[in-house]
Amino acid sequence: MANDTQAKVTREQLIQGLQDDLAREYKAIIQYIIFSQKLDSAKYMNIAEELKLHAHEELDHALAIANQLDYFGEYPTHKPEPVQVAEDNEGMLWADLQAEDETVRHYRERIRQAEALGEYALAEVLRGVVKQEQEHQIDLATALGVVPNDSQRKGEGPSKSKSKKG
Q: What is the C-alpha to C-alpha distance for residues 69 and 72, in angstroms, rounded to an integer?
A: 5
For residue 83, what is the DSSP state?
Answer: P
| Average pLDDT rounded to a whole number, residues 7-18 | 93
- What is the percentage of the chain residues whose pLDDT exceeds 90? 78
Residue 160 is predicted with a pLDDT of 41
Cα-Cα-Cα-Cα torsion 147, 149, 154, 159, nearest 10 degrees, comes to: 50
Q: Tell me if 137 sits within 8 A of 100, measured CB to CB.
A: yes
Residue 1 is predicted with a pLDDT of 41
Tell me the fold of 2-146: Ferritin (1.20.1260)
* pTM, entire model: 0.89
Residue 9 is predicted with a pLDDT of 94
**Range in 2-6, 110-114, 146-150 the model is least confident about:** 2-6
| Average pLDDT rounded to a whole number, residues 115-120 | 97
Distance of CA 32 to the CA centre of its chain: 11
- What is the residue extent of each domain of the chain? 2-146
Task: State yes or no: pLDDT of 162 exceeds 50.
Answer: no
